[in-house]
Amino acid sequence: SNGDGTFHIISTGELVTDWHRGLLTLDTPRSQGATGFLRAAGRIELGDVAFESHNPFGALLAIALDDRPLAQSQKILFQVGAIDRPTGFSTTPVKLAWNHGEYTGHRIVATGRLPWQVERIRCAVTLKQAAGRVVSATPLDADLRPQPPIIGADAGADYVLPLPAESLYVVVA
């Protein structure tokens, strides 16, 4: 622990758990992302990307697909996820003791049934220093089939791309 609520799992700082923000971040040259309480975290700044999500909880990941660092990659996969649960899933608050303290957790009272309820994605990604570099942005469906392209915009030296609400994957080239 660094005494500031963060715990660096790898001594290089590439994988960091921030207990105060409820966030785990990954920041390597070819993959960068975050998982946890995204909306509360606000804008998540990493080396070559920034994420801004309005989903309360989820996971966001950028991966270079061409064995180059993200800053130079010509093909990047964005993978995103939010809360998904079976219909009728429910919990009830419960007080739990841990590490000489007490906190409120949740006990599952109904596991639910099909179909699953998947929260829509409400997120934008910023590729830093990528203005003029992005040629296309293609969402993929759950079976990885290409969908109609989406459009982002240059913002100063960066490129900002709002991610589609129903897409788990987007390939930027």
pLDDT digits (tens, 9 = 90+) for 109-142: 999 999 999 999 999 999 999 999 999 999 999 8
pLDDT digits (tens, 9 = 90+) for 147-158: 999 999 999 999
Sheet containing 153-155: which strands, arranged edge to edge? 44-45, 49-53, 123-127, 158-162, 153-155
Q: Of 34, 58, 37, 38, nearest to 46 (Cα)?
A: 34
pLDDT digits (tens, 9 = 90+) for 64-83: 999 999 999 999 999 999 99
| pTM higher than 0.95 | no
- What pLDDT does 97 receive? 87
Q: What is the mean pLDDT of residues 21-32?
A: 96
